[in-house]
Amino acid sequence: MDFFSKILFFFGAIGLFNSFLLSLYFIFYKKPKVLSNKLFGIFLLFLNIRVLKSLFYYFAGADPISFLQSGPVIFVLIGPFLLYYILSVLNSEKEKINFIKYQSLIWIVVVIFAYVFYPFQDNIVLWKTYLLKLINFQWLLYIIFSAYFLKYLIKKKCSPKEFWLIFLCIANLIIWAIYHFIEYSYFIVGSIFYSVIFYSVFLYFLFNKKVSNKIFNTEIKYANKKIKTSTAEVLKNHLKELMIEEKLYRNPSLKLFEVAVKLNITTHQFSQLLNDNIGKSFSTFVNEYRIEESKKILKSNTKYSLDAIGLESGFNSKTTFYKEFKKIVGTTPLKYKERFKST
């Protein structure tokens, strides 16, 4: 290896080495013990392996490196854990978190299956010709899904945590593009870019401790604290005013964190308010307002179609409207409508 190659290897590897240590820190040592912090560490670990493989591939030459013989199957886990991390930071609905959690477990099973039954060293042509392309496409899909859950941030001023998620998504897309479009002989570009990104972010967080704490301390201080009764009453009154005056429930894609922003509290605090002080899930709370709105329309103007009433009330589908109406009112919208027709 000549001097220039040594310099390239140094700049490509220095960020990877420190990033690897950081991923272990988040997985095993970071306090407070928060799910999103651990997920970030796991995601960072898999991304490190992806970049490390490209670095080794660039300098492999004619000599085989045993690390490369494991193949690219581990890359399958980058995208799912990126999305898992983003959803956990956004404090998304429990159903979405569980869905991506089970997806991640399925992909882990896929990785184990591929290692056992289709090892890279015995199926090199298959992996390089077909499977690697599928893996890259899967990674891109998860980046797109991650961006989808962040699209609401385009129209609003972002908090440091939200800006961090957008940055992470864009950085992933750039790394993906480098490895997808450039030739193998230029893979060192990806490693150097990764090192530059890592140290830029690291130095930024180092000199901005408050921002770092907001992003990676994720409100754990509220986990074992109940909201004071007096505070809860004020918040409940404010929430009621918001729902009635601004009719937030009419937005079919209304998210928990959007309401929390209007209340000027964290998503975790809003979840606590709903669960501990109101005794309802977010979806149930919002749907009750939507049902009340639909009942008013049914009473005042029965010329509306049931589909139109559901949409006007904030439901995104006829099926959901019918299901929630019967669940809350105890009868179908049609029977409820006929009751007032006869009257």
Picking from 174, 199, 216, the residue at the C-terminal end of a domain is 216
Cis, bond preceding 160 (omega within 30 deg of 0):
no
117 pLDDT above the threshold of 90: yes
Beta carbons of 68 and 53 less than 8 angstroms apart? yes
Structure confidence at residue 1 (pLDDT): 61
Do residue 55 and residue 199 come from a single domain? yes
Do residue 71 and residue 137 come from a single domain? yes
Section 321-332 average pLDDT = 90
Do residue 204 and residue 234 come from a single domain? no
For residue 76, CA distances in Å to 22, 118, 129, 188, 235 come to 21, 15, 16, 21, 43
Amino acid making up residue 258: E
Structure confidence at residue 177 (pLDDT): 96
Picking from 194, 216, 238, the residue at the C-terminal end of a domain is 216
Total count of domains within the chain: 2
pTM, whole model, 2 decimals? 0.67
Amino acid making up residue 124: I
Phi (first) and psi of residue 325, to 5 degrees: -65, -50
Quick: pLDDT tens for 209-256. 878 887 886 444 444 567 888 888 999 999 999 898 889 999 998 988
CA distance 191 to 58: 10
74 pLDDT above the threshold of 90: yes
CA distance 118 to 138: 19
Angle at 262 between CA 256 and CA 264, to 5 degrees: 100
304 pLDDT above the threshold of 80: no
Do residue 212 and residue 295 come from a single domain? no
- Cβ burial of 184 (10 Å; 0-12, 13-18, 19+) is exposed
Beta carbons of 80 and 100 less than 8 angstroms apart? yes
- Cβ burial of 214 (10 Å; 0-12, 13-18, 19+) is middle
DSSP state of 223: T
CATH number for the domain spanning 58: value is 1.20.1070
CA distance 299 to 337: 7
Q: Report the sign of the C-alpha dihedral through residues 209, 82, 106, 128, in that order.
A: negative
Structure confidence at residue 61 (pLDDT): 59
Do residue 196 and residue 333 come from a single domain? no
- Mutual angle of helices 318-329 and 333-342, in 10-degree steps: 70
Q: What is the DSSP string of 21-84?
A: HHHHIIIII-SS--HHHHHHHHHHHHHHHHHHHHHHHHHHTTS--GGGGG-SGGGGGHHHHHHH
What is the residue range of 167's domain? 3-216
Do residue 192 and residue 317 come from a single domain? no
Quick: pLDDT tens for 272-284. 899 888 988 899 9
The 10 Å Cβ neighbour count of residue 281 is 16
